[in-house]
Chain A
Amino acid sequence: MREGAFKKYFKRTMTYLFLIVVSFLSVFPIYWCFVSASNTTAEILGGKLLPGSHLQENLTNLFAQADVLTAFKNSTVNTLVVLVLSLTVCSIAGYGFEVYHDKAKDRVMGLLMLSMMVPFVAILVPMFQLFSNLGLMNKTMGFVLPSISTPFLIMLFRNNARTFPKEIIEAARMDGVGELKIFLTMFVPTMRPTYAAAATITFMNTWNAYLWPRVIFKQNSAITMPMLVSNLMGGYVIDYGVVMAGVTICTLPTVIIFFILQKSFTEAIAGSVK
């Protein structure tokens, strides 16, 4: 009995130890990036791991060199628009593919999956032609449109919709509830963890998008955070302290969003179904 308790205690300790080590390894580069924001180039390249005294200097240089506020505002607006449109369009499609599935719809789904398999570089030129013909250069919509409907999110919602009990839908239909209402009032609340996961991923992808915004946005006023960071690396002289200050500002929102949304991953959903 005591031996069993010891074994259990030992196993628990090992679990925590393992998670601590993994967490440390995961966090280290971000920690280093944040710390480097307060160091000089020589210190960073020399491998300094502790906070230094140049944070204010780096920030001052960063704000003098680049329009951080505009970039931050643009990235926020772009990302929020994509987030709302993308989650709406993809979740309803994923739900549709699963709940109303038949041979024809399964085939359409298979076809849509194909679209994520082409390297983006390959369709860059035709995409540019299309968007410049539509007059969408330098427009928020030009950036947003291609990221709204992604096969990945559709697939994520479709596959997670499988865990949504069919009986609930049938029962609601018996009660005369409309199809859209079933989706909005029953499916959406139940799938909160999936929405949270999808939102996290969409936020991250949109916030960090680089190649397409570079092609679409040419005006200084349309600059996004990742563009700003890479602009800092484009010259003959790279001030790594300033770059790291920029990277830190660029990374923080994703970290915060994840921290907020991750609570939803663990919410017990048993209650909300009933």
Chain B
Amino acid sequence: MKKLLALVMALTMIMTMAAALATTDDGKLTIWTWDPTFNIAAMNIAKEMYQKDHPDVEIEIQEVLSEDIETNVTIAASSGDLSTLPDILLVQDNSFQKFATNYPEVYMDITDAYNFDGFGEAKVAYSVLDGRHYGIPFDAGTVVGAYRTDYLEKAGYTIADLKDITWDKLIEIGKVVKEKTGLPMFSGQAGSVDSIMIMMQSCGESLFNEDGSVNLKNNETLKKIIDVYSTMVKEGIYLEVNSWDEYIGTLSNGSVVGTFQGCWILSTIMSLADQKGKWDITNMPAMSNVEGATNYSNNGGSSWAIINGKDTDLALDFMQLYRNVDFYNAILPTTSAIATFAPAKEAPAYTAPNEFFNGTPIFATIVEYTGHVPSNITGAYYYDARNAVSTAITNALNGADIDAELANAEDTVNFAMGF
């Protein structure tokens, strides 16, 4: 018995000692981000560019998934031990307010330390809390309407017919397209309210009031949008699928005419080699009868946060690259990460015509759109409200009364906020 215990103890000790201790030198930055083909690839280029001028600075880019970054920030902040966090980390724009509200001590207030001129207004708004800046914008989630021109042609339309239109017009076109090609115009994941939220933001509206209180029950814009959405689903213009991979499947199988989605979807589309030249992009439809409605919106995208108590000077110096047109020009060909920094649209990689999309210089076009996107309020309870609205819409599509459902949803969010 003693021998066994001793053995276990010895093993434990050996293991503990064997695990290497990481030493932190001066002039070292640690960065957390995800996606080797996108954020990480862009960061690697930034690292190379920075080290050219600062060969003594060590930069370590660690691959951590978005949800794991959130988990780790939550855990580290609530245990009061920030030492395990990196110097810089990437945050999804929709989660930014939630984290900045709950853990203000984690993120550095960079209002006076960073220049935000040139970034899209709506983009910057994601990481602003009480007038203070906590994030440096990175990639755009600017919404594009991407359509298969070959299908449109069959129905007697061109991409120009879809530019600057309203949803009423789109439904009209959608009915003709459905009749001529048998295909729905759009597809999307049932229960995920991505499409609804995109339409909301295109009107500059959100699920919350200015004062942060929830706004669902008497939200006329939301009701109009749900009405448009339900009409499209019922007319077969918008196909609801059950999961993300089914949604991607509808694009890759060519079983839908198009999609309105954050511009990052274009990378997926461009990976479908057999569909080259069959796509083109324009802006998304706008709501009619809603004040402030536009043809522009946003979905997705993320921003960098600098962590307090680390080497913040070095981190800020490094992050100046994200205001550098050359940097955006360098990352575009390999990553397709589209800048929210307006001057980048003049860069050669942005103005080059794209053969996949009938020669449209899609990247410059998207940066152009970014400037028109209305900002909206996300707030700390964004996901609570989203889930509640999702439930309401699912029930409404199954025949429940939408007013009652939205009142219910508002209660649910208020319930969550009642703490």
Q: Do A and B come from one complex?
A: yes
- B399 CB to closest chain A CB (Å) equals 31
- B20 CB to closest chain A CB (Å) equals 9
Q: Is B11 an interface residue (CB 8 A)?
A: yes
Q: Is B105 an interface residue (CB 8 A)?
A: no
Inter-subunit contact B249/A46 (CB<8 Å): yes
Task: List which A27-48 residues lie within 8 A (CB) of chain B.
Answer: 41-42, 45-46
Total interface residues in chain B, CB < 8 Å: 49
Q: Is A16 an interface residue (CB 8 A)?
A: no
* Distance in angstroms between the alpha carbons of A144 and B4 in the assembled complex: 18
Inter-subunit contact B34/A215 (CB<8 Å): no
- Chain B residues with Cβ below 8 Å from A108 are none
Q: Is B231 an interface residue (CB 8 A)?
A: no
Q: Is B68 an interface residue (CB 8 A)?
A: yes
Inter-subunit contact A46/B15 (CB<8 Å): no
* Distance in angstroms between the alpha carbons of A45 and B252 in the assembled complex: 8
Q: Is B65 an interface residue (CB 8 A)?
A: yes
- Chain B residues with Cβ below 8 Å from A219 are 22, 62
- Chain A residues with Cβ below 8 Å from B267 are 236-237
Inter-subunit contact A45/B249 (CB<8 Å): yes
Inter-subunit contact A231/B79 (CB<8 Å): no
* Distance in angstroms between the alpha carbons of A42 and B250 in the assembled complex: 10
Q: Is B58 an interface residue (CB 8 A)?
A: no
Contact of A132 among B8, B71, B81, B245 (CB under 8 A): B81
- Chain A residues with Cβ below 8 Å from B34 are 231, 234-235
Q: Label chain A's interface by main secondary structure.
A: helix
* Distance in angstroms between the alpha carbons of A141 and B153 in the assembled complex: 63
* Distance in angstroms between the alpha carbons of A124 and B37 in the assembled complex: 31
- Chain B residues with Cβ below 8 Å from A42 are 252-253, 272, 274
- 1/0 per position for B341-370, CB-CB distance to A under 8 A? 000000000000000000000000000000
Inter-subunit contact A138/B1 (CB<8 Å): no
Inter-subunit contact A132/B72 (CB<8 Å): no
- A251 CB to closest chain B CB (Å) equals 19
Inter-subunit contact A235/B4 (CB<8 Å): no
Q: Is B12 an interface residue (CB 8 A)?
A: yes
Q: Is B271 an interface residue (CB 8 A)?
A: yes
> Known contacts A139-B16, A219-B22, A237-B268: does B75 contact A128 (CB below 8 Å)?
yes
Inter-subunit contact A81/B79 (CB<8 Å): no
Name which of A85-93, A151-159, A255-263, A264-272 contacts chain B. Answer: A85-93
Task: List which B215-274 residues lie within 8 A (CB) of chain A.
Answer: 245-246, 248-249, 252-253, 264-265, 267-268, 271-272, 274
Q: Is B300 an interface residue (CB 8 A)?
A: yes
Q: Is A140 an interface residue (CB 8 A)?
A: yes
Inter-subunit contact B12/A141 (CB<8 Å): yes
Q: A129, A144, A237 — which one has the most chain B CB atoms within 10 A of its CB?
A: A237
Q: Is B398 an interface residue (CB 8 A)?
A: no
Known: A141-B15, A180-B1, A230-B65. 16 other contacts (CB 8 A): A46-B252, A85-B8, A92-B4, A128-B76, A132-B83, A138-B22, A141-B19, A214-B71, A218-B72, A234-B65, A234-B66, A236-B35, A236-B38, A236-B300, A237-B267, A238-B245
Can you give 30 contacting A-B residue pairs, CB < 8 Å?
A: A41-B248, A41-B252, A45-B249, A45-B253, A46-B249, A46-B253, A85-B8, A89-B8, A128-B75, A129-B79, A133-B81, A138-B19, A138-B22, A139-B15, A139-B16, A140-B19, A141-B16, A214-B65, A214-B68, A218-B62, A218-B84, A219-B22, A223-B63, A234-B65, A236-B35, A236-B38, A236-B264, A237-B37, A237-B271, A240-B245
Which B residues are within 8 Å of any A CB, using their own CB?
A: 1, 3-4, 8, 11-12, 15-16, 18-19, 22, 32, 34-39, 60, 62-66, 68, 71-72, 74-76, 78-79, 81, 83-84, 245-246, 248-249, 252-253, 264-265, 267-268, 271-272, 274, 300
Which 8 residue pairs are nearest across A and B when measured between Cβ atoms?
Answer: A235-B35, A45-B249, A139-B19, A236-B264, A42-B252, A129-B79, A234-B34, A234-B65
Which A residues are within 8 Å of any B CB, using their own CB?
A: 41-42, 45-46, 65-66, 81, 84-85, 88-89, 92, 124-125, 128-129, 132-133, 136-142, 144, 179-180, 214-215, 218-220, 223, 230-231, 234-240
